[in-house]
Amino acid sequence: MNWTLALPEIVLSVSGLAILVFGVLQRRDPTQVCSLLTLAAFVLTGVLVLLAPDGIGYNSVFVGDDFARYMKILSLAGAALSLILSMDYNRREGIGRFEFPVLLLFSTVGTMVMASSENLMTLYIGLELQSLAIYILCAFDRDRLGSAEAGLKYFVLGSLASGLLLYGVSLVFGFAGTMEYRGLQAALSASAEIPTGLVIGIVFIIVGLAFKVSAVPFHMWTPDVYQGAPPPVTSFMAGAPKIAAFALLLRVMAGPFGTASHQWQLLIELISMASMLFGALAAIPQTSIKRLMAYSSIGHMGYALMGLAAATPAGMRGTLIYLAVYLFMNAGTFAVIVAMRRRGRPVERIADLAGLGRTDPGLALAMAIFMFSMIGVPPLSGFFGKLLVFSAALQAGLPVLVVVGIVSSVIGAYYYLRVVKVMYFDVATAAFDRPAASVSLVSAGMGLVTGLFILLLGPVSSAAQAAAAVLFR
Amino acid sequence: MHVVLADYFPVLVFVVIAFGIAGAMLGGSLLAGQQKPYAEKLSAYECGFDAFDDARRRFDVRFYLVSILFIIFDLEVAFLFPWAVALGRIGLFGFLSMLAFLGVLTVGFIYEWRKGALDWE
């Protein structure tokens, strides 16, 4: 048996346990040290992911391939960026406890297991590990009512989604007789007609995963949880777990259920359309920047689902690139949100950004880049993401989906541009507190990545191409 | 069918003996013992709570903590029994898997100990 297949996950888990023991044995406050150790563990794991071999192991429940590698690197990057944002935020808010980086680390282990799943049980275990840690992280600022509410809400609805997913898994197992992806693929392509019970099982699995990526109509938790959770946690939730849930959606739908694509394609198409339109329309009346980002994330998941709806290698590649693009511009936007503090207290209204163009030109420029990128203005990164999913959907013969996508992009432009307008044309209010170097670094770094994405397009595109090819072997 | 029933004969014997012993103990004390009933003796035993009370009353959060800790270590034993029985067949991988599981639990134990979750005061 090939033990080294899961070496990155093993190393990350063991370092998580070691950091936990180290932290709890310290007499002085170990938060900073533990955060730095966790960051180092993320970097080490990233290197190991790149070196990890391909293949299937552990009684064929775990797989290592280009797709898993791509998704793991993205979720590690997302987790590391959120961790950097949290270090300063938690200290200033007085919630700096060393459990935070450890929980973030275990959640990341969950996302990596999800990306490598080759069996519906591995899928579920990864999903639960990831979710359980996030439930606690949402309620980490436990003395604040909003944070506790966010944790509880996400827990209750997340458990419901897990239940639906498990029910779907049990139906699939009952009708196909196996939970292995390869076995399912063989069973489905061998049978002339797909049993109705199996189709219902697939629908339940889609529902469970759509909840995790917060696609309409399973989005209701998103705005409240995004608003209530501490911003570094929100930036993590919008990044790594969604990428992992997308990894599952792509892997399960394109792999084992790929031959049944005509059964689920319309469903994904409808979810995608509903998410794009709802994300665009519901964000218009928002006054809180965190709620705005929640609706924006619902919309972006709709665009990313467009590539899956196409059910072609080009579509999958489009989705993968879209996710990478979204991860970086989202982390950057949340860096700006973390920097929004006046007189030692966080502020979150869009109106609080007024005059940022004069009081802090650097931060305002970064925010403007993220907003324009989210609209999809060339040559920023968001443009390439949208271009690839739109063209893939068009090639797959889904013109209605593309038209809905373009219309909702235009509607969405209104509220993204409103943020830019508030920053540059409204009368300046008091300046923000001076942001910590780490926060400025993340916002500037992500601004560079988003602005100069055209230079990264080649390598990202070829990595996504290789990852998508694995799904259609 | 009869073969299956015959397999359960020892269970039947056990049930009869158990009922016999229990009946003998209860009946013996009822017949031979002295009865001095009073209110506390007759009420149901409920670890410090009133037996009949509002289900939504407040009580100390430490009860939750203790019961959660109990469940974790109780489940550990529930996993250990089948593992011990099957140890001969699951090989080195099965052995090491359980050691890893116990290692994770030990880390959790160190954590709760140092955090003071085991101190009542």
Cβ–Cβ contact B28 with A under 8 A: no
Dmax over Cα atoms in chain B, in whole Å?
61
The DSSP secondary-structure symbol of A180 reads B
> Is residue A399's pLDDT more than 90?
yes
Cα angle value A211/A204/A162 (rounded, 5°)? 50
Structural domain spans, chain B: 55-121
Asked if A21 lies within 8 A of B93 by C-beta distance, the reply is no
Please state, in angstroms and rounded to a whole number, the distance separating the CA atoms of residues A328 and A370: 9
| A1: confidence class by pLDDT, cuts 50, 70, 90 | low
**A28 shares contact with chain B (CB less than 8 Å):** no
Residue with tokens 């050691």, as numbered in its chain: B99
Write out the residue range of the structural domain in which residue A315 sits: 260-473
- φ, ψ (nearest 5 deg) of residue A288: -95, 135
The partner residues of A62 in beta bridges, in order of sequence, read A57, A117
Q: Per-residue pLDDT tens for A285-337?
A: 999 999 999 999 999 999 999 999 988 899 999 999 999 999 999 999 999 99
Q: Is the pLDDT of residue B1 over 70?
A: no
Query: B7 falls in which pLDDT band (50, 70, 90)?
Result: confident
> Would residue A403 count as lying in a domain?
yes
Interface touch A20/B111, C-beta < 8 Å: yes
Q: What is the full DSSP assignment across A64-89?
A: ESHHHHHHHHHHHHHHHHHHHHHHHH
In tens, the pLDDT along A41-96 reads: 999 999 999 998 898 988 889 999 999 999 999 999 999 999 999 999 999 988 88
Q: Is residue A72 within 8 Å of residue A49, measured between CB atoms?
A: yes
* Contact yes or no for A25 and B103 at CB 8 A: no
Structure tokens at A400: 């209605």
Do the Cβ atoms of A142 and A256 come closer than 8 Å?
no
Reported as a single tens digit per residue, the pLDDT across A204-222 is 999 999 999 999 899 999 9
- Per the DSSP assignment, residues forming a β-bridge with A166 are none
- Please compute Rg for chain B using Cα positions: 23
- SS3 category, A117: strand
Cβ-based burial of B69 (10 A; exposed 0-12, middle 13-18, buried ≥19)? middle
- Mutation for B interface: A2, A21, A98, most B CBs within 10 A: A21
Question: Is A20 in the B-facing interface, judged by CB distances under 8 Å?
Answer: yes
Asked whether residue A443 is domain-assigned, the answer is yes
Distance from CA of B110 to the nearest CA of A (A): 7
Which residues, 6 or more positions from A429, have their beta carbon under 8 angstroms from its beta carbon?
A352, A354, A355
Among the ranges given (A185-199, A357-371, B20-34), the one the predictor scored with the smallest mean pLDDT = A185-199
* A192, A193, A197, A198: CA torsion to nearest 10: 50
**Cα angle, residue B30 at apex, residues B24 and B33 outer, rounded to 5°:** 110
How many Cβ contacts (< 8 angstroms) between chains A and B?
15
pLDDT at B48: 66
Both tokens assigned to A363: 């931060």
CA distances from A276 to A222, A253, A378 (A): 15, 21, 20
What six digits make up the tokens of A390? Answer: 């739109």
Which residue of chain A has the CA closest to B111?
A: A24
The answer to whether residue A120 is domain-embedded is no
Q: Write out pLDDT tens, residues B101-117.
A: 999 999 998 998 898 88
Domain total of chain A: 1
pLDDT at B49 over 80: no
Q: Which of B93, B104, B110 is closest, CB to CB, to A24?
A: B110
- Residue B93: the pLDDT is 87
Q: Which residue of A has its CA nearest to B103?
A: A17
Strands A341-342 and A62-64: unpaired
